[in-house]
Amino acid sequence: MARRILPGLSLTLGITLMYVAIIVVLPLGALIFKAASLGPEDYWRIVSSERATASYRVTILCALAATLFNLVFGMALAWVIVRYRFPGRRFIDALVDLPFALPTAVAGIALTTLFASNGWFGAPLAAIGIKVAYTPLGIIIAMAFTSLPFIVRTVQPVLEELDPALEEAGQTLGASDLEIFLRVILPQLAPALLAGLSLSFARSLGEFGAIIFIAGNQPFDTEITALLAFIRLEEYDYPASAAIASVMLIAAFTMLAITNLLQARALRYTVKG
Amino acid sequence: MAKSKSRRPPRIGDAPVFRNTMIAVVLTLVALVIIAPLAVIGYEAFSRGIAYFGKTIANSDTRHAILMTALTALIAVPINTAFGVAAAWAITKFDFPGRRLLLIVIEIPFSVSPIVAGVAYLFVYGLQGLFGETLQSADIKILFALPGIVLASMFVTAPFVARELIPLMQAQGRDLEEAATSLGASGWRTFFFVTLPNIKWALLYGVILCNSRVMGEFGAVSVVSGNIRGQTNTLPLHIELLYHDYNAVGAFAAASILAALAVVTLIAKVALERRGAGRVRRPSLAGTAPDISETTP
């Protein structure tokens, strides 16, 4: 009886449901409807075509490599920001979010220019025989750039709240720093780290803007799945575009479920008994 | 200072050699990975001097793209904000079945690729979509026009404001609002004089992040806009056009506007975080706040 003394439920819930229905559910429903109307045979033919599977391979492998890079760099970045005090620390902390703030198209042309064979990084790399722009390496760099903040921002708060007593216990028991890191600190970071990894990987799977400039976009070689969906659209092959987009949607939902699971675990870890 | 330092035994990784190496490596990587892309934008934009930069920005297509982007943000951001506030109020001030599901649905756009979002909108408003023929016979243009761009922008930013407000309002509880209404204040009065002062920084934080994403959105908008030069090109799309025209200076000049916006957004973000915004979102110790701590743009 006393539960609902506040006004505005019907108004705010009405607005919320209407917005979610029109903006989020309707288009995704339309996409699923379109893909489903293809029929299982046609659908399978499109999503398992050689060009499509090649694009999945490129996307997944590059996303894995980018996530691996971010695992190392993101961890190091979070560690340095949390554990050390040095001039410019706050500046670095703020800069971590730049990849999220910078529009993907802007990041795309900037990275391409840096890594082109006459660019600041591309020229010296070309001199030692490494080609980045228009190769899978370029895709990896674009993916790593756009998803960098995830791991830093998931690990950072956990690292801040680590109990020094546990490390001290390790020290008094005679463990080396490396042993303490691997067996005391890392297990505490693991849930947050896993959640950050899955966020980073999911973002890399769906990234488009930053990649298409640097990728070269050669079918079978440097063509990501998002681009293939876009190309089918430009060719007016709408069923194929719907089918490929639906595969990406399924992948996104799978990653969302995994992330939520990992995050629920991470949350359980953070709760102090 | 020195006293407290000496009392605490050194934590692992505090050995000077390790510490300094880590800082040096990380700072170098930050310079290469984060600062260099920003620097190259400025360098390329001004590579032919300030006068040329000014001329490029003043180009009528670029001016139109800036206008389109501003117009899109001017429509999408306020609607999004209203939605975010309404969603936060409904979810945190009342108990109803399906709250968790609603939270998940609001968060979905974060997980969906912008390209998928764009393609999905095509199948609603495009000629081959659900309402395509109806819209055409009524002569209403949504795709390849401003409404489509605004709708796609609203999709990708749907969670931005709600996500900042919900954990905060959840943590603040309902006592203040309940006291205000029981003293006879109307719902609006309660919101504006009791709730709003407590959430204003988080709200502003969400609005700024939402605006930054709307103005920079590329993938979803590139599907629904039709890329018509001087008509439906937003700034990010215009950058792509100029870049593929081999007009690198023009592309980077346009890009520098968005890069400047990104820097301003970051500064505002830091300033607001000092006022407590953006903090409650992290997995809360009490474990009561909804765990919508997914992404942190």
**Percentage of the residues of chain B whose pLDDT score is greater than 90:** 77
Give yes or no for residue B296 having a pLDDT over 50.
no
Residues of A in contact with B105 (CB under 8 A): 20, 24-25
Q: Is the pLDDT of residue B5 over 50?
A: no
Task: Give domain status of residue A5, yes or no.
Answer: no
Contact, B37 vs A102, CB < 8 A? yes
| Residue A33 belongs to some domain of the structure | no
Whether ipTM tops 0.85, in short, is: yes
Contacts of A206 in chain B (CB under 8 A): 111-116
| Whether the predicted pLDDT of A77 surpasses 60 | yes
Query: pLDDT per residue over B80-95, tens digit each?
Result: 999 999 999 999 999 9
Q: How far lies A245's CA from each of A1, A103, A115, A149, A256, in Å?
A: 47, 22, 30, 26, 16
Mean pLDDT for B207-214 is 96
Is A92 inside any structural domain? yes
Phi-psi region of A271 (alpha: psi -120 to 50; beta: other; left: phi over 0): beta
Question: Chain B, 163-202: which have a CB under 8 Å from a chain A CB?
Answer: 174, 177-178, 181-182, 186-187, 190-191
> Which of B116, B240, B241, B246 to probe the A interface (max A CBs under 10 A)?
B116
For residue B67, name the pLDDT band (cuts at 50, 70, 90).
Answer: very high
Q: For A196-255, what is each residue's pLDDT tens digit?
A: 999 999 999 999 999 999 998 999 999 999 999 999 998 999 999 999 999 999 999 999
Does residue A265 belong to any structural domain of this protein?
yes
**Tell me, what's the pLDDT at B228?**
73
pLDDT in tens, A1-22: 445 678 999 999 999 999 999 9
Instruction: Determine, yes or no, domain membership for A24.
Output: no
Under 8 Å between Cβ of A154 and A193: yes
Residue A183 lies in a domain: yes
User: Which residues form the domain of A214?
Assistant: 39-270
For B217-250, how does the pLDDT look when each residue is reduced to its tens digit (9 = 90+)?
999 999 999 777 778 899 999 999 999 999 999 9
Which chain A residues are Cβ-neighbours of B255 within 8 angstroms? 105-106, 109-110
pLDDT value at residue B128:
85
Q: What is the CATH number of the domain that holds A126?
A: 1.10.3720.10
Answer whether residue A83 is part of any domain.
Answer: yes
What pLDDT, in 10s, does the model give residues A49-60?
Answer: 999 999 999 999
Contact: A26, B269; criterion CB under 8 Å? no
User: How many A/B residue pairs have CB atoms within 8 Å?
Assistant: 317
Q: What is the pLDDT of residue B279?
A: 66
pLDDT score recorded for residue B43: 96
How large is the average pLDDT for residues B188-212?
Answer: 95
Q: Could you say which of A80, A144, A272 has the minimum Cβ distance to residue B22?
A: A80
Encode pLDDT of B106-119 as tens digits.
999 999 999 999 99
3-state SS, residue B11: coil
Mean pLDDT, residues B185-213 taken together: 95
**Mean pLDDT over the full length of chain A:** 92
pLDDT in tens, A102-129: 999 999 999 999 999 999 999 999 999 9
B58 CB-near residues (< 8 Å, 6+ apart): none
Candidates A203, A202, A233; CA nearest to A107 is: A203
Name the average pLDDT for chain B.
Answer: 88
Q: Is residue A27 part of a domain?
A: no
A162-194 pLDDT per residue, tens: 988 988 898 889 888 899 999 999 999 998 999
